[in-house]
Chain A
Amino acid sequence: DVKVTQSSRYLVKRTGEKVFLECVQDMDHENMFWYRQDPGLGLRLIYFSYDVKMKEKGDIPEGYSVSREKKERFSLILESASTNQTSMYLCASSLVLADQETQYFGPGTRLLVL
């Protein structure tokens, strides 16, 4: 089974703090993704990466950055956390196979910024 793990299930931070969210996948997938999920808005793509050290902006990259130094690990960084970044963050990975991409999700990190 594909396993995607996220470093924390729940996190409480203060405004202005630098926050790191870590994601690890164990299936040698090329692609990794970070989403945020908010009630009534569904999932919105923040950043994705299709290879080590490669990254692409998603639909809402403002206030976030990412790092992918190793294939299995994709980090989301909030340089200076703000209250409007309180959300559920979901990481996913995928293996593109004949254009039939299936994304596999981690359990999510619920972040509260005070």
Chain B
Amino acid sequence: AQSVTQLGSHVSVSEGALVLLRCNYSSSVPPYLFWYVQYPNQGLQLLLKYTSAATLVKGINGFEAEFKKSETSFHLTKPSAHMRDAAEYFCAVSDMWSGGSNYKLTFGKGTLLTVNP
């Protein structure tokens, strides 16, 4: 089974500073990788996904992530944090369900991003 490790359960940055949220995965086959964001009292929203087309993936709200196979990483970055970016972020990896071609996701434990004024 695949797994995801998010380094740092809580990251705090100042407004305008670089955001870096770390995600490492384990997989025996090329994975599909996802970042989701959860704002307070809401469900999860897809930020971006990697599906082997390009190693640098751009998502919504100015976020991007780079797939590095040699490091088994898929870190999420944003050049300049905004107050509205305060949320919890989840990295996820696809996991082949043994029953066929359908996939299910394995999620990391999440990183809470705080943005200070």
Q: Which residues of A contact B (CB under 8 A)?
A: 4, 30-31, 33, 35, 40-45, 48, 50, 56, 58, 90, 92, 96, 99-108
Which chain A residues lie closer than 8 Å to B67 at the CB level?
none
B117 within 8 A of A: no
For B42, the closest partner residue in chain A by CB is A107
Q: Knowing A40-B109, A45-B104, A56-B97 are in contact, say whether A4-B90 is a contact too (CB < 8 A).
A: no
What size tier do the contact residues of chain B reach? Answer: 20 to 34
Starting from the known contacts A42-B109, A42-B110, A105-B44, 9 additional A-B residue pairs (CB-CB under 8 Å) come to A50-B102, A96-B102, A99-B32, A99-B51, A99-B103, A100-B49, A102-B46, A105-B43, A108-B43
Q: Knowing A40-B9, A100-B51 are in contact, say whether A33-B104 is a contact too (CB < 8 A).
A: yes
Please tell me if the beta carbons of B103 and A101 are within 8 angstroms of each other in the complex: yes
Q: Knowing A4-B43, A100-B32, A105-B43 are in contact, say whether A42-B102 is a contact too (CB < 8 A).
A: no
